[in-house]
Amino acid sequence: MQSKLPDVGTTIFTVMSKMAQEHGAINLSQGFPDFDCPERLKDLVSHYLNDRRNQYPPMAGIPALRQAISRKVDTLYGFAADHETEVTVTSGATEALFDAVQASVQAGDEVIMFDPAYDSYEPAILMAGGIPVRVPLQLPDYSIDWNRVADSLTSRTRLIIINTPHNPCGVTLAPSDLDALAELIKDTAILVLSDEVYEHMVFDGEQHLSVLSHPLLRERSFAVFSFGKTYHATGWKLAYCIARPALTEEFRKIHQFVTFTTTSFLQYAIADFMQECAEHATELPAFYQAKRDYFCTLLQDSRFRFSPSNGTYFQLVDYSAISSKDDMAFVTELTQEKGVAAIPLAPFYREAPDTRIIRFCFCKDDSTLERAAEILCAL
């Protein structure tokens, strides 16, 4: 059988987590916490699981959850999304990203994405018959060269994918970035897909900038968010997309034939938790900044070079003072021989630069970070 994705193999996250498990390594590769979600949230899940909330919920998500989402984005981003026509609950952010691409991209359309890019973007584009146009972020700060983006626009450009805070780099967009994007697309039919799953992990007193807060961008954007990231429950695969009614209508046409709907009792539980414990989300930046700062302090005496990440729960480090091997060879050796798993950056690029940079995940218990740092500082 001819493959629809002949150049796509197993995701690097699966590869490295499997390698970590096989070799008993500390897993700082795949982005999931090794601590549990809030106790109250688990209590609510148990309550609704045993309260006969086990049948199909509405395709777009239960009304109470969509209403809670609307209140949240109004409070944080000044956009009162209509829960009936603009909010859709999905089975994880990867599904939401896929749905948005399939809803907006047709055969021959070009989609601009920024390298290094999260690895689900390009396969979704290819499966829609689109053409990925990869614009490299500028080193060393992984910023966007908007002049280069402008030069990449053609009459076939249909979609631009942005990601803030950025996985794998941990950088965030500034107000000037959103303004530059809006200026580029204002007189076009180009849409935006904004991956904002790490919205509550922005550090050093900065605020997350959502496309929903920008008057022009909110009119032509799909904005994707994650409950799994926010509530330390990545295995629940629960997320949502906000878009204006015409875009949401097309989005839901795809969503209904991908997963149709999403786990019922989890939706009821999260709806209640958002109402009861709204402070969880607002306190999350400080929680993860403390993790970042602790991990960086633990690595101060190592030979890794780094600047603390601006957001997400990922930290990039330069290992060029330790090894001249390419990043895949280095993380393989680090995992199999030293006992700490990391993620190489090369799989996120089409053409990777000649750098020696890898990604660690710091959403771990302090004891896990301490054991990893002891090994890393001995390199």
Domain-located, residue 96: yes
Write down the mean pLDDT value for the chain: 96
pLDDT beyond 90 at 7? no
Q: Are residues 216 and 307 in the same domain?
A: no
What CATH number is associated with residue 146?
A: 3.40.640.10
pLDDT in tens, 109-128: 999 999 999 999 999 999 99
Q: Are residues 128 and 231 in the same domain?
A: yes
Q: Are residues 138 and 263 in the same domain?
A: yes
Q: What are phi and psi of 254, to 5 degrees?
A: -80, -50
Tell me: cis bond preceding 140? Omega within 30 of 0 counts.
Answer: yes
Q: Are residues 64 and 198 in the same domain?
A: yes
Tokens (6 digits) for 82: 């209509």
Name the percent of the chain lying above pLDDT 70. Answer: 100
pTM to 2 decimal places: 0.96
pLDDT in tens, 333-377: 999 999 999 999 999 999 999 999 999 999 999 999 999 999 999
pLDDT in tens, 65-88: 999 999 999 999 999 999 999 999
- Note down the domain range covering 357: 12-37+280-377
Domain-located, residue 3: no
What CATH number is associated with residue 16?
A: 3.90.1150.10
pLDDT beyond 90 at 296? yes
Q: How far is CA 71 from CA 74, 105, 133, 246, 276, in A?
A: 5, 30, 36, 21, 13
Among 248, 276, 304, the domain boundary falls at 276
Q: Are residues 188 and 208 in the same domain?
A: yes
Domain-located, residue 176: yes
